[in-house]
Structure 1
Amino acid sequence: MSQHRFYCPDKLAADVTVSLPETAAAHAARVLRMQVGDTAILFNGDGFHYNCQFTAVQKNSVTAKVTSSVAITNESPLDILLLQGISSGDRMDYTIQKAVELGVGAIQPIATERSVVKLNQERAEKRVAHWQQIVISACEQSGRAYVPEVYSPLSLNQWLAQHPQQTTCRILLNPLGAKQLAKLPKPASQIQLLIGAEGGLSANEIETAVAHGFQSILLGPRVLRTETAALAAIASMHTLWGDF
């Protein structure tokens, strides 16, 4: 049976005693009913697993002493930045969760022309905090020891203005695309994957993205939902170029 893993943002090292974050502590104490003396794995995003033993367990408070550490080497060989059109309901949560499990390096939410969800600054900050917690939970589940960052939402034009065309592999999914993913050579740099929200990217957004170096790619003859498109593309990239 694999050990339970918990995210702890503190600096971790052998013989250090730390307090688990409130959410992790409540899960360990109330849901898993772990006790003093139980062992677990902590990670803080630095690429290591830290073996620990619980020294105190209360309803909302858990402390643990780190006993040893080990470097983790399960990160994807592909550096994928997911530029995901902000979708509604649970779609965005699901996309982020599964993309992290599949190994993406970072996530940039994009407010597209067809995004149903419109976020002001306050709501955007709350959503980013929520999405970052989903990332952490996905890392706990999947065994990743690095934590991808969810950036603040931007429009496509804002993001492009901040990231002029570079020597990166830029891909957007388009049901009317002229190229197939399998026809592309293995990228030697970061992959920037652009996915539209419900209804896809507008013709203007596609034109703008292509003008900034994005290749319009067809992923099969069927039209995919936004959450399906992102995950299918990432899985296909791993099959073609990564560690699947």
Structure 2
Amino acid sequence: MPRFHCPVPLSAGTELDLPAAAARHVQVLRHQPGDVITLFNGEGGQWSATILRMGRSDVAVKVEAFEDVEREPVRRVHLAMGMPANERMDWLVEKAAELGVASLQPLHTAHSVLRLSGDRAAKKQGHWQSVAVAACEQCGGNRVPTVAPVADLSAWLRGSEGLTPLRCVLSLAEGSRPLSEVLGDHPAGTPVLFLSGPEGGLSPQEDAQAREAGFRPVTLGPRVLRAETAALAALVQALA
């Protein structure tokens, strides 16, 4: 059954007009009155809904039964990453959302190629949030990860203490422990925050700043992975 994100309060028996993005999606798929669709608002669970009316730019539905289904991982994993360039960031957001990431924090770092500020940064944040929504619609996730506003690494590190019980920085520096070992030191459901670099990784100075801020240096193995691959590999290990 087609799934649509509807970020408004939902309850059985309510009739409502779908938000603009969901309405456009329903129209693109050429649904008709009487068709049954699935709605989720990101707060857990999902609802069946029947299409009542298809206007030129609006879609009215009646919310039906609630299904108390949960498809989220036991461990909440947050990802802060130096933004890879071009379409790689879109791909990273999409795949992280499919896998079940809890939140995403785009960062400017010393080696970042992509630099955003002002309206351009806000538009990119909105675009990435839409990518996360679409990924959840496709994969069955009922809680959409939040994409935070773009931040500078140094300023973000100063406010990172206490975000999660376990904070790790993906590092190639000597003394980094295998991620599997670090995860094994904590209960299976312990929330974790990963910091990863862009193309070229974090600079030595940034790696040191992260350690000073309480991030544990971890390695994914002897191979040097692309920025987007490394972030997703860490996410997969933590969610396994």
TM band (smaller chain): over 0.9
Per the TM alignment, residue 91 of structure 1 is displaced from its structure 2 partner at its CA by: 0.8
- Indicate whether 1:72 and 2:66 are aligned: no
Deviations 1:35-63 (CA, angstroms, capped at 9, x unpaired)? 11000100111102011000012343211
Match in the other structure for 1:24: 22
Match in the other structure for 1:62: 59
Alignment partner for residue 109 of structure 1, among 102, 106, 109? Answer: 106
Superposition RMSD in Å: 1.5
Give, in whole Å, the separation in 2 of the partners of 1:210 and 1:194: 11
Alignment partner for residue 132 of structure 2, among 130, 135, 138? Answer: 135
Structure 1's 25 and 166: CA in aligned 2 closer, same or farther, altered over 3 A?
A: closer
Between 230-239 and 178-187, report the one with greater CA deviation.
Answer: 178-187
1:1-244 aligned at under 5 Å gives the runs: 3-30=1-28, 32-164=29-161, 168-176=165-173, 178-184=176-182, 185-188=184-187, 189-239=190-240
Structure 1's 142 and 187: CA in aligned 2 closer, same or farther, altered over 3 A?
A: farther
TM-score by length of 2: 0.93
Paired residues of 1:83 and 1:110 also in contact (CA < 8 A): yes
Structure 1's 41 and 151: CA in aligned 2 closer, same or farther, altered over 3 A?
A: same
Deviations 1:103-151 (CA, angstroms, capped at 9, x unpaired)? 1111111111111111112111111111111111111111111121111
Q: How many residues align?
A: 236
Question: Identity rate of aligned residues, in percent?
Answer: 37
SS at match of 2:4: strand
Give, in whole Å, the separation in 1 of the partners of 2:75 and 2:133: 20
Give, in whole Å, the separation in 2 of the partners of 1:187 and 1:72: 27
Give, in whole Å, the separation in 2 of the partners of 1:152 and 1:68: 35
Between 116-125 and 174-183, report the one with greater CA deviation.
Answer: 174-183
Give, in whole Å, the separation in 2 of the partners of 1:20 and 1:167: 35
Task: List gaps (5 residues or longer) in structure 1.
Answer: 240-244
Letter in 2 for 1:13: S
Structure 1's 59 and 106: CA in aligned 2 closer, same or farther, altered over 3 A?
A: same
Give, in whole Å, the separation in 1 of the partners of 2:163 and 2:52: 50
TM-score by length of 1: 0.91
Paired residues of 2:85 and 2:113 also in contact (CA < 8 A): yes
Per the TM alignment, residue 27 of structure 1 is displaced from its structure 2 partner at its CA by: 2.3
